[in-house]
Amino acid sequence: MTTICVIRHGETDWNAIGRIQGSTDIPLNEKGVQQAEECGVFLKRTSWDVIITSPLKRAKVTAEIINSSINIPLVVMEEFKEKFFGEAEGLTFEERKAKYPDHRYPNEEDELSLSKRVMAGLDKIKQEYRDQKVLLVIHGAVINSILAEISNGELDYRKTKIENACFNDIHFHENRWKIKTLNQVSHLSQYC
């Protein structure tokens, strides 16, 4: 059985004020670094085979900080880069609502393309890391795309808020992906 702990990157300044980041490469803020450190401390209690990350620095640095505690191979995969939100990148929720009340952002990556890209990445993990335990450090929209796909639409961004530095456990068993846990944050001091 292939097991993946899907982790959202730590907080950025744009997360804190509600700006949509997408493919814009924003660094972690101080709280995001602390969240990544707490993830590493918690994950050190168990055994993992590989950590895979998006190339964007907020995810990659989160992965590197986690890996400083567990010291396993780290792999960057383009398939898990955050969704491109087109003209909406950099706008706050209020600005997006005023400018694009229909939630359609000019030049954004469509949901089908995102889902195909992300699921191709999961297939690659399934093939290259069969029966291994994988940490996957990625982004909110990417996580929501994975959850929507493997839950047959029961979960999606309208129903599930993915917290920064949360854990979502999925596994591939009996020829399909299954969700084991969702949006776990008990390892983060801000929730204790």
Q: What is the set of active-site residues?
A: 9, 82
Tell me the backbone φ, ψ of residue 128, rounded to 5 degrees: -80, -20
Tell me the backbone φ, ψ of residue 27, rounded to 5 degrees: -80, 165
Quick check: 88 and 101 in contact, CB under 8 A?
A: no
The two structure tokens encoding residue 74 = 């780290």
Rounded distance between C-alpha atoms, residue 129 and residue 148, angstroms:
23
179, containing H or E segment = strand 176-184
The two structure tokens encoding residue 85 = 């939100």
Residue found under tokens 């999925």: 170
CA dihedral 103, 24, 155, 5 (to 10 degrees): 180
Quick check: 31 and 58 in contact, CB under 8 A?
A: no
Cβ-based burial of 132 (10 A; exposed 0-12, middle 13-18, buried ≥19): middle
